[in-house]
Amino acid sequence: MKLGVFVVSAALLASCTTAQIEPIPGSITYGGQPRTKLTKSPIGSKFVHTFHDQQGNYWSETYQLLPDRSLKIISRRRTDDFTLNEHGGL
């Protein structure tokens, strides 16, 4: 009985993990991590990158700096223009 509860609990916990956001054309990490590393930025720091795609959609992505100095996209949203990022402007 305890083993069954453990298996069910593990399955539920695994299903709660968030899916990784994959880069799209225009993302900083599209085609791999950037060659230069952010050596002066603190680990865990976040920043916003805005861009538009070939279809005319504007995107705002938030990145986080990981301990190995790579970047991870933690959120992405489509906006009407560049002024609608999380900071209220560029």
Question: pLDDT tens-digit profile of 9-42?
Answer: 555 455 455 689 999 999 999 999 999 988 999 9
**The token pair that represents 70 in the structure block:** 């790579």
Q: Which residue has the higher pLDDT, 7 or 76?
A: 76
pLDDT of residue 89: 47
Residue 60 and residue 50 in contact, taking contact as beta carbons nearer than 8 Å = yes
pTM equals 0.70
| Chain centroid, CA 11 distance in Å | 25
pLDDT (mean) for 46-56: 92
Q: What strands, in cross-sheet order, belong to the sheet with 46-52?
A: 46-52, 58-65, 71-79
Cα–Cα distance, 79 to 89 (Å, whole number): 12
